[in-house]
Amino acid sequence: MDIYVGNLPYSTDEEELSELAGQFGEVTRAVLIQDRETRRSRGFGFITMPNDNEARKAIEELNEKEHGGRTLVVNEARPREPRTPRNDY
């Protein structure tokens, strides 16, 4: 199951994100989303956990939990919606 984790402190790295969910089970992937130009964290990321029960437990335990002075938003990731092309002339 893919999990969305939002409102992360900008200082969070992928290892810390993996460890956060790893308390509840196996994490196969942890990715932080970065700004394309500055390479700075955008404050959210995604975690992949192969066991759905462990993933649900992680969501339940981490959602609205304070981490690094911020209240996390954690839920099951939704599929990305198609983007319309931008016309920047």
pLDDT tens-digit series, residues 9-59? 999 999 999 999 999 999 999 999 999 999 899 999 999 999 999 999 999
Cβ within 8 Å of residue 58, ≥6 positions away: 3, 21, 23, 24, 25, 47, 49, 74
With bands split at pLDDT 50, 70 and 90, how would you rate the model's confidence at 84? confident
Domains and CATH numbers, the chain: 2-76 (3.30.70.330)
* CA max distance for the chain: 48
DSSP-derived secondary structure for 29-84: EEEEEE-TTT--EEEEEEEE-S-HHHHHHHHHHHTT-EETTEE-EEEEPPPPPPPP
Provide the whole-model pTM. Answer: 0.86
pLDDT(87) > 80: no
What pLDDT shows up at residue 88?
65
